[in-house]
Structure formats: C-alpha cells, structure tokens
Structure 1
Amino acid sequence: MNFCMIKVSDLVLVNDKGEVIVGRAHHPVNSPAFAIHSKTQKARQGLNAACHANSVYGQAFTPFACLIEMI
C-alpha cells in the first residue's frame, strides 16, 4: 500500500505473538516487519510504537512475491 494512502483504520496493534488485538487487519501482518519490530520493542521496553518504510528499490520486488537472493 502506498504510504500516502494509509488511514488510521489500516493500522493494527498486535501482541508479542503477532496476533491482532486492536483493529481489523485488511492484509496479513507482515511477518518480517513484525520480527524486526518485536525485537526492537523487546530491547527498548519504553517504546510505544515502531514503524518502518521500504525504499523505492525494495518496493520494486514486492509485486513479484519472490525472495531476493543475498549477493
């Protein structure tokens, strides 16, 4: 989803297992993003939220739903 199109209703709150506890998930929770965010929040207990954005170059691979090989 393009960042400028995100609405509050698109956001969800998940527990430490990645299960949605507040909000209605229109899409599956992004597992890689959850893995990064949950580790960040465990390391920094005082955080209230974490967010991320993908670069234009990373987003180019999204429609293909394929793994990007490490080189």
Structure 2
Amino acid sequence: MDFILEFIAGIFQEALPMLLKFFGAIIRWCIFLGNKKFKDVLNEEWNTRVGLFTLIIIIIAIFNLG
C-alpha cells in the first residue's frame, strides 16, 4: 500500500509543476495576443507562478460564488 501512495505522490510531485507551467504559458501567450511563439513563451520563466496564481484566483472565485 505504501508503494502505491508513494507512486501517486511522485506523479503529483512531477506532474503538477509541469501542468502549472503549461497553464501559465497558455495564460501568458493569451496576454501577448499570440505575438510571441508559444514555444518561446513556454521556455520563459514565471509560467509556473502565473499558472499557480491563476489557479488560486479561479478557486477563490468558485468558493465565493457558493
């Protein structure tokens, strides 16, 4: 059972930052209105922070609606 929990934790530990980075890159690419190539935006810094910030804003908005 411990192996399964560690495996799931490892997946989240690796996948969550990558998903946040991708989500942040999508947000930043939309802000740039597509003037920059998505590949260039994806390789820049701050994508993970932008993704996390956006996710927090979405969660706060959902809880405030309820």
Structure having the higher helix fraction is 2
Give me the TM-score of the superposition, normalised by structure 2: 0.29
Structure having the higher strand fraction is 1
- Largest Rg, 1 or 2: 2
